[in-house]
Structure 1
Amino acid sequence: MTDKITKLFHIKYPIIQGGMIWVSGYKLASAVSNSGGLGLIGAGSMYPEVLREHIRKCKKATTKPFGVNVPMLYPDLAEIMKIIVDEGVSIVFTSAGNPKTWTAYLQQHNITVVHVVSSAFFALKAQDAGVDAVVAEGFEAGGHNGREETTTLTLLPIVKEKISIPVIAAGGIATGRSMLAAMALGADGVQVGSRFAACLESSAHDNFKQKIIEATEGATQVTLKELAPVRLLKNKFYEDIQELYANNGSKQELQTLLGRARAKLGMFEGNITEGELEIGQVAALIHRIEPAATIIEEMVAEFKKVQQEVAAFDF
């Protein structure tokens, strides 16, 4: 299974683990990398020195390539980028900001840069900024979403038509079957978030993992569009948001309800009632808490099996 993505990152399989907040520590990143994919440390929920610690621990846990995911709304962004350079990280995924701001700086230090986009418009902007690849993330994805509300099925071929650099598909991908579908639509690789969030090495709280594997169709919803669209599991916190909407709550009231560290409360500390539980629609297909290595093995095996099944079609 050799393609643009495996060559770009020097990995065995074109499977990238999402760099999710409160979920993607060094244990998960190293486990994915050791299994042939690309593991990402999620810097979005880490203070600078915590990130440094995770990078150093990841280096000890794997000799394989790994990267860091950096949401560019981070308040200590300059310090974060300096740590990434100082610690010799070779791959950075950026999101939630202008890729022009840091791409050249990172590439000057021999770092491969990938930017997450939700539309062809932003994919072109990222390509113009000089990134090495983009992640085209559909509306099915968990966590913060694009305002365009374009699904992966539609987004991928549109982005592929517009740009020449490699495209990684994200949003609704958790199986070998969906991986093959993404590649049929033009993806050069896939990014998997929700399934790895529920895996053994994820730093998510066990309560949150259990809620993921219990999720059924329709269990997630995108909300808080006035602040930043986010897909999360429906729980008491979600119902409180809906009640505020029903009472014509203001943007400020929504911000007050959200407060601070709501995602940490739910995903990391395990308060499944009051916490923000960010996960994708594909949670309805996740039924077991497994090691990262098992997930990758299952995805690759199913990919090859379905590839043969599709090849047997004769029109």
Structure 2
Amino acid sequence: MNRITSLFNIQYPIIQGGMIWNSGYKLASAVSNAGGLGLIGAGSMYPDVLREHIQKCKKATDKPFGVNVPMLYPNIEKIMQIIVEEGVKIVFTSAGNPKTWTPFLKEKGITVVHVVSSSKFALKAQDAGVDAVVAEGFEAGGHNGREETTTLTLIPMVKENITIPLIAAGGIATGRGMLAAMILGADGVQMGSRFAASVESSAHENFKQTIIDTQEGNTLVTLKELAPVRLIKNKFFNDLQELYAKCPTTEELKELLGRARAKRGMFEGDLVEGELEIGQIAGLIHDIKPVKEIIDSVMEEFELAKKEAVML
């Protein structure tokens, strides 16, 4: 047992990222059943859809699971109410001030974790009363920190500043990566991209195939003026770069982005005009496997790497 497995009452200190359009109840329950902590990604769900996924997840697993809530999305009050009504015990918050919802959730007996991209925000989260933080490096997929701090430097810097449990995220998809993060001071890891390319992920098969086809250097962070996001380079990405060459206004960027661009790419499988969010670690993901196989192989490699490290 370590601080993360104790906090969540799980077997392995592996948390599945609550990724929009990838993280429905099938993925969350599969991760929980395999010994990790599964998260339903509320960011791409209307309140009634979220309620349905929570109810289905409760039927699909008797193990702990949680909900990831990006606080910049609309319907936040309704989403939090549903989480309480459905008896969800673990909530990961991101993209917002942890002081806003942490006291409300803690009063209801819910374990709260906040996602941060810097030591400054980790301290703010700790001061707000969260139970743990996820420190996410710049390698991560999806929405990203503006500071461009990589996981290798972020984890020890955050560790130096906080006393609560620390979960490392960004660029982790293997047992060796997990061990490296824990040697740097993390108590556990959160993996997104590796689980996006799983059988149980709710992403479109086109997107899953694109993840395993993605090679080193095929992703880049863009849209920093709105919310930094790491994207696979496709026609939409190239259109963005052409617009950037003209020094666009924020409004012009919003107009090109439009609505439901991420849904088009990741959920509907439009590889041309869709927004395809994934981490740099996609270059190390070579297959689409069931969640249990992913977790088993990560833990097997972790234990082997640990033995090798002792022999050095």
Counterpart-to-counterpart distance in 2, 1:248 and 1:182 = 38
TM-score (norm 1): 0.99
1:257-313 Cα offsets, whole Å, 9 max, x none, are: 000100000000000000000000000000000000000000000000011111101
Matched, 1:144 2:148: no
Alignment partner of 2:22: what SS?
coil
TM-score (norm 2): 0.99
Letter in 1 for 2:267: F
Letter in 2 for 1:70: V
Letter in 2 for 1:108: E
- The equivalent of 1:102 in structure 2 is 101
Alignment partner of 1:169: what SS?
strand
Alignment partner of 2:297: what SS?
helix
Letter in 1 for 2:132: A
- The equivalent of 1:50 in structure 2 is 49
- The equivalent of 1:5 in structure 2 is 4
- The equivalent of 1:277 in structure 2 is 276
Matched, 1:295 2:283: no
- The equivalent of 1:122 in structure 2 is 121
1:90-132 Cα offsets, whole Å, 9 max, x none, are: 0000000010111111111110000000000000000000000
Structure 1 residue 6: Cα displacement:
0.2
Alignment partner of 1:260: what SS?
coil
- The equivalent of 2:250 in structure 1 is 251
Within-5 A mapping of 1:140-219 = 140-219=139-218
Counterpart-to-counterpart distance in 1, 2:200 and 2:10 = 20
Aligned-residue Cα RMSD (Å) equals 0.5
Q: Which moved more, 1:248-257 or 1:207-216?
A: 248-257
Structure 1 residue 227: Cα displacement:
1.1
Counterpart-to-counterpart distance in 2, 1:223 and 1:44 = 19
Alignment partner of 2:59: what SS?
helix
- The equivalent of 1:38 in structure 2 is 37
Counterpart-to-counterpart distance in 2, 1:240 and 1:175 = 33
1:129-154 Cα offsets, whole Å, 9 max, x none, are: 00000000000000010111100000
Gaps of 5+ in 1: none
Alignment partner of 1:31: what SS?
helix
Counterpart-to-counterpart distance in 2, 1:280 and 1:85 = 31
- The equivalent of 2:304 in structure 1 is 305
- The equivalent of 1:264 in structure 2 is 263
Alignment partner of 1:22: what SS?
coil
Alignment partner of 2:4: what SS?
helix
Counterpart-to-counterpart distance in 1, 2:15 and 2:248 = 39
Alignment partner of 1:101: what SS?
coil
Counterpart-to-counterpart distance in 2, 1:111 and 1:77 = 16
Give the % identical residues.
74
Counterpart-to-counterpart distance in 2, 1:231 and 1:289 = 21
- The equivalent of 1:69 in structure 2 is 68
